[in-house]
Chains A and B, each alone.
Chain A
């Protein structure tokens, strides 16, 4: 079949082209699972003889795909120990201008995304940014696109920050036998981030000023939190004023329940007694700080000392589903908490503030409930599906010793691999094991964190890259580009990065990386230059998808909450694509000057 040639491509090449085009058509216009589509593509390439068995399934044994899988576990350890919450709490602050807010937001998000999955970071930041934007009196739509862009640009800064980097560096290692340093993209990535932040500030008028549709619902000021005073509390006998509870950060004390009566509103000279239930309304995270500062505990049952209560518990948020048996009941009147090993600490209701203790609230469909559960206990959310819909992305871990441990593990992993002391794959395995040994996440959380669908897509992307290379498509395209662009390496680099930047708007960054790797590699070799700088430029460009909401999963995450339209991304994103492309080509040629092949 290799002898049948049409328009310069043999039949195998045409099968590959048809497979790739059909695959992306199916992905764009149907709702079929991406992993299934990639698996089918691999199957077609294998059955038609384009690839042999070893090549067709090499994606599953690819080092970069294995690293991505292992990193899911490392990231689970970080997210379950509250690293994100710590950063949010300490870095966002109260900036006085939009420019400062953009800087305060984009830098930590980019820093986190350079080590964690971009989607995880953005998913956790979306709600926080919406609250923060209210505090700052800035429309969330002005901050959510910068949030998503920052995660994309941050991801580029390390090889482990985003899958295309790992895929491209993995393919580079396979082709040359030399591994790229984990920090190879750091300087170009930081420069592009710097340019990106300045561009967002300069082009702020292109971002829409829109009110999010469900703004009222997402306000945490609709929460009430019930805390209990243990019998050995240091504030017993003090007045509310003396204990500093008249002005609580983020909320107010609306009711105090003594053992024999209820006081509401609460006067400043009201005494605090052991066993009191204090009902606060306001921002939940700040009010829950009173547990640490004042030694209060959750109001589930009476406790006589703080030592009876573990300080390291996990918070879970859930909606009351339609048809739930909890509707029209009070949690306080049922054995729900004991049966499910969790305690209700707060209730929110769309549009209505609930000025009642959570246990006394008659629940309605759609109410949002915040539960506190014992650490390392797996709440069987599936079993409760008929009553409550849990949000996994809204898990709010407590910040404590394990936050420090998980951060240290991550930093050690990066440093040891960056200094070439231990290869990245081994480092990732050691870090994942350390996360489990130090209980930063349990085995169940680790297994759940591994996204098999994404891994399948990555494996498929690697295989597509191999097919494109093997069938000579990459070489022909490289020659085609050289014919059009001439022999100036910078022009060729720019042209391929330009096409890559726009293709990645419609297909996954990883697939774009895997497909453009052989083209860029061949083009560089044909020009007689070392491919390394070309590939670093490719890494940045395939992750620079700013112009459509489908360009990146993080854009989709902010699309609804920001109340955006498709064109909102186009307006600022097209310019961003060009600006980052220019910055990318500029910095790559300074940091990694082009060197002729030896």
Chain B
């Protein structure tokens, strides 16, 4: 699991990659903190290289989404495909995120 955060013109891009399972989910939440701190900005999470996400990981994404909405920022998920799309569809979270 890896998350790479870049800042571009005042907005943030997070590139998620690998396998976010229960074992690394706590670390994932920790790594997301910088984005949480900038929830009032525009944030894009690129899921192109993300292979799997566990329920705890989804919880982190939803918290970030709620935080963004509360602080007037935006969160979009991009390149949601394959297994990740299946998980988001099954859990119904696909309707909770702005996915492009």
Contact = CB atoms under 8 A, between A and B. Distances in A.
A232 B92 contact: yes
A231 B54 contact: no
A302 B86 CA distance: 13
Interface residues of A, number: 17
Interface stretch (B7-15, B40-48, B55-63, B73-81): B55-63
Nearest to A269: B59
Residue from A231, A233, A260, A271 having most chain B Cβ neighbours under 10 A: A260
Q: How large is the interface on B (under 10, 10 to 19, 20 to 34, 35 or more residues)?
A: 10 to 19
Nearest to B57: A260
Given A237-B62, A271-B62, A261 B55 contact: yes
A258 interface: yes
Interface in A218-250: 229-233, 236-237
B22 A274 contact: no
B55 A236 contact: no
A274 B90 CA distance: 6
Contact of A258 (B21, B55, B62, B96): B55
A302 B54 contact: no
A237 B96 CA distance: 8
B22 A273 contact: no
A259 interface: yes
Contacts of A229: 92
Nearest to B54: A260
Contacts of A236: 91-93, 95-96
A236 B96 CA distance: 9
A470 to B, nearest CB: 76
Contacts of A108: none
Nearest to A270: B59
A236 B88 CA distance: 11
Nearest to B58: A273
B59 A275 contact: no
B26 interface: no
A271 B54 CA distance: 13
Contact of A233 (B21, B54, B62, B92): B92
A556 to B, nearest CB: 52
B87 interface: yes
B55 A259 contact: yes
Contacts of B89: 231, 304
B93 A237 contact: yes
A236 B59 CA distance: 11
Contacts of B93: 236-237, 273-274
Interface in B29-76: 54-56, 58-59, 62
Nearest to A231: B92
A451 B92 CA distance: 50
A274 B92 CA distance: 5
Contacts of A275: 90-92
Nearest to A274: B92
Given A237-B62, A259-B87, A261-B22, A273 B54 contact: no
Nearest to B87: A259
Contacts of B62: 237, 271
A234 B28 CA distance: 27
A229 B54 CA distance: 17
Contacts of A304: 89-90
Nearest to A273: B91
B96 A273 contact: no
A382 B96 CA distance: 49
Contacts of A261: 22, 54-56
A265 B93 CA distance: 23
B8 to A, nearest CB: 28
A352 B63 CA distance: 39
A434 to B, nearest CB: 42
A231 B55 contact: no
Contacts of A233: 92
Interface string A349-386: 00000000000000000000000000000000000000
Interface string A281-294: 00000000000000
Contacts of A260: 21-22, 54-55
Given A237-B62, A260-B22, A274 B55 contact: no
Interface string A194-232: 000000000000000000000000000000000001111
Nearest to B63: A271
B96 A302 contact: no
A236 B49 CA distance: 26
Residue from B55, B89, B90 having most chain A Cβ neighbours under 10 A: B55
A95 to B, nearest CB: 42
A394 B87 CA distance: 40
Contacts of B95: 232, 236
Contacts of A271: 55, 58-59, 62
Given A237-B62, A260-B22, A274 B91 contact: yes
Interface of B: 21-22, 54-56, 58-59, 62, 87, 89-93, 95-96
26 contacts: A229-B92, A230-B92, A231-B89, A231-B92, A233-B92, A236-B95, A236-B96, A237-B62, A237-B92, A237-B96, A259-B90, A259-B91, A260-B21, A260-B22, A260-B54, A261-B54, A271-B58, A271-B59, A273-B91, A273-B93, A274-B90, A274-B92, A274-B93, A275-B90, A275-B91, A304-B90
Given A273-B58, A302-B90, A304-B89, 4 more contacts: A233-B92, A259-B90, A261-B54, A271-B59
